[in-house]
Structure 1
Amino acid sequence: MFKITGLFLMITLIFSGCVSNKKFNKMKTEAQQNYDALSGKNQKLETDLKGCNDKTAELTQANTSLQDENSNLKKHVDQLKENNTTMLKQLEGLSVLTSTQAASIKQSLENIGAKDIYIADLQKEMARKDSLNMALVLNLKGAIGDLNDKDINIKVDKGVVFIDISDKLLFTSGKYDIRQQAQTVLGKVATVLKAQPNIDFMVEGHTDNVKYNKPPLVDNWDLSVKRATAVVRVLQKKYGLDPTHITAAGRSEYAPIASNDNAEGRATNRRTRIVILPELDQFFKLLEPKQ
């Protein structure tokens, strides 16, 4: 930046003695505009670089955690194999056991080993699911950008991805028509979900505990369901998400995440939640006996 400033001053000094004041002022203005444009581009590049570095750090941390967990599982399986081998060798030297008894104990040990391997497979599959969820969360945060955390919150809890969007962002108070500016946010969420065509998700409407009765709606149950279906229609009809993978639900006031005793808590509870449902069918397949 100092080089650019020096160059600008040099050009100013050279041309101030060679051209008329009018031409000089015009060239000075153009040089200043070029300088401002370059400064703006430089600032944007620095911001983009910081964002890339932050995302790289998050991915590196997630990868390190998964590698540590995989290493611990491998050590556990190796220890079990070593224990089984030791016990089998001890059995071979026991003359007091009949061959039938020894065979029975050996079979039991083999079954235990098979179950341990089976458990290790389940843990590995769960770790893979956690990794996919982490990638999904990072993609969602990257797509949404710098939106106020009070208006939208993305998290993973017990293997499930939750996207909470405040009703202040989506709806006018007491209404269930989607705000025009909220369509952009839903579009960004839809872009990420559309890239995962096999996942199922639920759209939940939530309210505070303030009584509601505005015909044709009679209570918070009606309002929460209407808001959920309004979001679903936008995701399906405007952004092309497959309706066979979507569920709309109303939770009314009965699943609060903050106290309804104050205005701030009630505002937090008025939200729409998108729940990325776990792939239970794939998990249950792991529980089926191997043929």
Structure 2
Amino acid sequence: MSFLPLRKIFLFLFFTTALASCVTKKKFDDLSARKSKLDLDIAACEKAMARVQAERKSLAAELAELQSTNQKMVKDSTETGVALRKTRKLYAELNGTYDKLIKNHERLMSNSASESTRLSADLARREAELLTSKNQIDKLSADLKTREERLNEMERVLAEKDKAVDNLRNKVSNALLGFKSNDLTVNVKNGKVYVSLSEQLLFKSGSTKVDPKGQEALQKLAQALRDQQEVNVLVEGHTDDVPVSKGTMGMKDNWDLSVLRATEITRILTSAGLTPERVTPSGRSKYVPVAQNTSADQRSLNRRTEIILTPKLDELFQILEKN
């Protein structure tokens, strides 16, 4: 999708209005500034669409991994089916032997008492083997049915989980659509939705107090998550490798800075309506960078807060834990 037609419309309206009204230079400057802002907003939308496409690719990789688990269960079921067919074959062979023994028994009834006793014992043993085989067949049939039911249930839960993650990402992306792409991104990874917010959106350097623009983004995120009761929220604070200045608000190092920032964001989210039981703050300091700390631009990427949204998968885990 492209926003080029929208850009052309804005430019057309802008220049038509400017030429038709013969505006003063001040008004013309004001309109030029508004045009620049619209250009930035359009660029942000284009970048957001590119991220969504990347997220879908990540989700497809996760689906492939889960499908591999399905294939293993299908293989197990296939092996059970092979065992079932072998047992049925044995059952048929034993049935044939049983019929032959009956005929032999009738033919040899006139033989000696010792021979008759031996044949009776053999017949009883064969009957016991037949009963055992029948019980094995019944057990294998029941086990095969149970495995098939588990496979069907897992496929249903996986489809629901994929749909839930996709809907959650779309809802969060729509709620945060008005923010710049270099300040805020929404990605899907390992079945979770990652909302990454830059330091420049949330905090001043070395501060743990969230700026008004950052508070607005967090409140919109909380509003989008209020009715998502099956989603847990993990708030991770991240820093670059530059040590905290000595005596900065009582902080000793980047651990303190990342934890305090995550805790402050947690307070804003819960104050905006999320239940505290769903939100967990954590600090990762400098140890989970997304870029090399070799330049100012790369360090700015590492100074971020990641809000990780994880749908509850209790139903899927219960299926996997069944014997």
Judge same fold: TM > 0.5, yes or no: yes
Q: 1:288 Cα deviation (Å)?
A: 5.3
| Kept after mapping to 1: 8 A contact 2:84/2:141 | no
Partner of 1:24: none
- Map 1:270-285 to 2 at 5 A: 270-285=303-318
Partner of 1:216: 250
Q: 1:84 Cα deviation (Å)?
A: 7.2
User: Does 2:130 correspond to 1:98?
Assistant: yes
Give a deviation string over 1:53-96, Cα, whole Å, max 9, x none.
x9xx99xx99xx99xx99xx8xx79x96xx67993765653336
- The separation in 1 between residues aligned to 2:202 and 2:303, in whole angstroms, is 10
- Map 1:1-291 to 2 at 5 A: 87=85, 90=89, 93-95=92-94, 98-212=130-244, 213=246, 214-237=248-271, 239-287=272-320, 289=322
Q: Which moved more, 1:94-103 or 1:214-223?
A: 94-103
Structure 1 stretches of 4+ with a deviation exceeding 6 A read none
Give a deviation string over 1:107-162, Cα, whole Å, max 9, x none.
23431442243133223212211110100101111111142222111122111111
Q: 1:229 Cα deviation (Å)?
A: 1.0
Change (3 A) 1:196 1:156: same
Partner of 2:121: none
Q: Give the count of matched residue pairs.
A: 229
User: Any unmatched runs of 5+ in structure 2?
Assistant: 1-19, 22-41, 98-128
Give a deviation string over 1:196-237, Cα, whole Å, max 9, x none.
134221111111111113240110000001111111111122
2:205 is paired with a residue whose SS is coil
- The separation in 1 between residues aligned to 2:173 and 2:184, in whole angstroms, is 10
- The separation in 2 between residues aligned to 1:158 and 1:188, in whole angstroms, is 24
Q: Which amino acid aligns with 2:280?
A: T
- The separation in 1 between residues aligned to 2:173 and 2:209, in whole angstroms, is 25
RMSD of aligned Cα (Å): 3.7
Under a length normalisation based on structure 1, what TM-score does the superposition of the two structures give?
Answer: 0.66
| Kept after mapping to 2: 8 A contact 1:91/1:102 | no
User: Any unmatched runs of 5+ in structure 1?
Assistant: 1-27, 30-46
Change (3 A) 1:106 1:264: farther
| Kept after mapping to 2: 8 A contact 1:186/1:235 | yes
Under a length normalisation based on structure 2, what TM-score does the superposition of the two structures give?
Answer: 0.60
2:194 is paired with a residue whose SS is strand
Q: Identity, % of aligned pairs?
A: 30
2:188 is paired with a residue whose SS is strand
Q: 1:263 Cα deviation (Å)?
A: 2.2
- The separation in 2 between residues aligned to 1:91 and 1:166, in whole angstroms, is 69
Partner of 2:113: none
* Larger RCO of the pair (alpha carbons < 8 Å, separation 6+): 2
1:140 is paired with a residue whose SS is helix
| Kept after mapping to 1: 8 A contact 2:84/2:137 | no
- The separation in 1 between residues aligned to 2:311 and 2:170, in whole angstroms, is 17
- The separation in 1 between residues aligned to 2:149 and 2:187, in whole angstroms, is 31
| Kept after mapping to 1: 8 A contact 2:91/2:133 | no
